Amino acid sequence: MAALRYAGLDDTDSEDELPLGWEQRTTKDGWVYYANHTEEKTQWEHPKTGKRKRIAGDLPYGWEQETDENGQVYFVDHINKRTTYLDPRLAFTVDDNPTKPTNRQRYDGSTTAMEILQGRDFTGKVVVVTGANSGIGFETAKSFALHGAHVILACRNMSRANEAVSLILGEWHKAKVEAMTLDLAQLRSVQHFAQAFKAKNVSLHVLVCNAAAFALPWSLTKDGLETTFQVNHLGHFYLVQLLQDVLCRSAPARVVVVSSESHRFTDINDSSGKLDFSRLSPSKNDYWAMLAYNRSKLCNILFSNELHRRLSPRGVTSNAVHPGNMMYSSIHRNWWVYTLLFTLARPFTKSMVSERLRHRTPIHCAFLKGP
């Protein structure tokens, strides 16, 4: 039990707990066997349940398998700076002869991003996350980077983006992560980002359109458009168009657009049911920050649906996601009233590392959800 406790695996249920004198071990190819130190024998079946088990998935993020001078395999946890001869995947074994699956939900509201990605290796995958220096974008980028993906943080503020890169590298020094400049409020910046990315001559397997502005006072961008509309929707729309050829060449690839349930509380049609373009980029007299945000999120969903219709035959899928009700983040920072409201609501909101799964999280849609 001391070895189990050291590897963080001492929390076992009563059915799988081994009798006194037994030890659980693994082979190099992932099968579990049991050693009886009293009778000096080994067997494949669990001494209590009679089940055979095997390892599920790859090593957790930050772990590596090494071999010592005697040829014995051991495991290194780079995150917590420790080593053990006990395979950390023993906490995630599966039956060799699994029973019929049930309808039980696999994840719930307390599931973290790291638990969703447990045992998955994204080495060789390239992921771009906009607005990744904080909040949902940062947690998404970090989760993928710590599981082997090459992650690019596309951010407006390079100082904060570089700090985010350092935080990720601080958790795992081998993470492949970098920051690139992207200001969605300037279409020229979007164009420059796309050109710089293409110059790297790499694939693009996942594009997470996460960056967003909320509760901004009315203003126009250098392109002459209302800022919330351009940052939340039009900038991402342009970015996807510029990178569309790379996505198609990298198929299977995915676009994930972070939207919001607030899209339900608005409309972009006029009284005759036709699209009213003046509502997308309103004048100062017709502007209300919350309504502008809701409309931009509705545009996100319409865009994602049409993008999926057009590109899915070419191997590129698109999903719009709602990250969760009352997700606490820093998106409210632009007006003190919203900051006060979010602060009062914080005890009842979810943290950044506890996003709901189902189809409403960027991570689930990016790699785990079917086409």
pLDDT tens, position by position, 159-213: 999 999 999 999 888 899 999 999 999 999 999 999 999 999 999 999 999 999 9
Asked if the structure places residue 316 within a domain, the reply is yes
Do residues 202 and 314 share a domain? Answer: yes
Asked if the structure places residue 265 within a domain, the reply is yes
Average of pLDDT values for 240-249? 98
Contact 182, 190 (CB under 8 A): yes
Do residues 77 and 134 share a domain? Answer: no
Active-site residue, 33 included: no
Is the pLDDT assigned to residue 311 strictly greater than 50?
Answer: yes
Do residues 118 and 74 share a domain? Answer: no
Rounded distance between C-alpha atoms, residue 279 and residue 269, angstroms: 8
What is residue 357's predicted lDDT score, i.e. its pLDDT?
A: 38
Do residues 313 and 243 share a domain? Answer: yes
Do residues 165 and 226 share a domain? Answer: yes
What is residue 345's predicted lDDT score, i.e. its pLDDT?
A: 45
Residue numbers of the domain that contains 130: 113-324
Residues near 237 by beta carbon (within 8 Å), at least 6 away in sequence = 303
What is residue 318's predicted lDDT score, i.e. its pLDDT?
A: 97
pLDDT digits (tens, 9 = 90+) for 20-69: 888 887 776 677 878 888 887 888 888 888 888 887 777 887 888 887 77
Among residues 34, 61, 293, 328, the one annotated as catalytic is 293
With CA atoms as reference, report the closest residue to 315 among 255, 366, 371, 251.
251
Backbone region of residue 35 per phi and psi (left: phi > 0; alpha: psi in -120 to 50; beta: other values): beta
Q: Which of 127-136, 236-245, 294-303, 348-357 bottoms out in mean pLDDT, i.e. has the lowest? A: 348-357
What is residue 2's predicted lDDT score, i.e. its pLDDT?
A: 46
Average of pLDDT values for 115-126? 79
Asked if the structure places residue 100 within a domain, the reply is no
Contact 96, 53 (CB under 8 A): yes
3-class DSSP state for residue 173?
A: coil
Asked if the structure places residue 166 within a domain, the reply is yes
Rounded distance between C-alpha atoms, residue 136 and residue 266, angstroms: 24
Is the pLDDT assigned to residue 14 strictly greater than 90?
Answer: no
Consecutive H or E run containing 325: none
Asked if the structure places residue 354 within a domain, the reply is no
pLDDT digits (tens, 9 = 90+) for 259-293: 987 656 577 766 677 877 788 888 999 898 989 99
254 burial type by CB count under 10 A (0-12 exposed, 13-18 middle, 19+ buried): buried
Instruction: Provide the number of structural domains found in the chain.
Output: 2
* Own/partner long-range contacts of 305-313 (Cβ < 8 Å, ≥24 apart): 307/240, 307/255, 311/244, 311/247, 311/248, 311/255, 312/371
The structure tokens 């992921």 sit at: 127
What's the predicted TM-score (pTM) here? Answer: 0.67
pLDDT digits (tens, 9 = 90+) for 138-167: 989 998 998 899 999 999 999 999 999 999
Do residues 31 and 84 share a domain? Answer: yes
How many helices (DSSP H) and strands (DSSP E) are in the chain? Answer: 11, 14
Rounded distance between C-alpha atoms, residue 323 and residue 258, angstroms: 7
Asked if the structure places residue 359 within a domain, the reply is no
Check which CATH number belongs to the domain holding 68 and give it. Answer: 2.20.70.10
What Å distances lie between residue 55 and 85, 98, 178, 329, 368, CA to CA? 15, 13, 33, 36, 20
3-class DSSP state for residue 177?
A: strand
